[in-house]
Amino acid sequence: LGGSVLAGVRLVWQSPYLIGICMFMLLFTTLATFLYFQQAHIVRDNFADPAQRTALFAAMDLAVNGLSLATQIFLTGRIVRRIGLGWTLAVIPLLMVAGFLGLALMPALGVVVAVQILRRAGDYAIMRPGREMLYVVLGKEEKYKAKNFIDTVIYRGGDAVSAWVYAGLQAFGLSAAGISLTAVPLACAWVWISLRLGNRQEQMAAGSLPGK
């Protein structure tokens, strides 16, 4: 299973399914970055004292940890069995659609805190297990080489690029509300890709589609 990053690139390029996972991860990191910057700006505007900001972030971390643990114990497995992988993957994208619409209409502290807590807890408890399930139906090469490429180059690169995009939108004069509106169609695309990937994974697992 040895090989360079180029081996992962080749495997991704040859597989529409893996390209879909790349798009899924790009939208994941882009929208998470957009929300992070929205949070930073709103918190800065509401709290001049760094100690107050630290206390808020600590409370948010505590809420995320508690909510994600409770969800993992009581809900994660049931959610996948009840609604399928596609809708499971779409839970956080749907939250982001609603969250960015809410921030566009009312960029308030309570809104961004609620969305961020739910997003992070949902990522740990729902999204991450669902993402791993996407790779179960792949062969060893795709599972390790392509996944390594996606988790490093696509995810980390997407994080950096999305930060530049956010700065570029600000440079063009878009307000926080305007950037939130820009994020809504991206979140809608993320929902669609989630449903498509989940459906394809289930078909591949059932043997009705080839592994590519």
The CATH number of residue 75's host domain is 1.20.1250.20
Q: Is the pTM of this model over 0.85?
A: yes
Residue 131 lies in a domain: yes
Residue 212 lies in a domain: no
Q: Is residue 209 part of a domain?
A: no
Range of the domain at 12: 5-204
Alpha helices by DSSP H, listed for 3-74, are 5-13, 16-46, 50-74
- Domains contained in the chain, number: 1
Flag whether 184 is in a domain: yes
Please indicate, yes or no, if residue 69 is contained in any of the structural domains.
Answer: yes
Which 8-state DSSP code applies to residue 208? S
The predicted-structure confidence for 120-178, as pLDDT tens digits, reads as follows 999 999 999 999 999 999 988 888 889 889 998 999 999 999 999 999 999 999 999 99
CA distance 167 to 106: 21
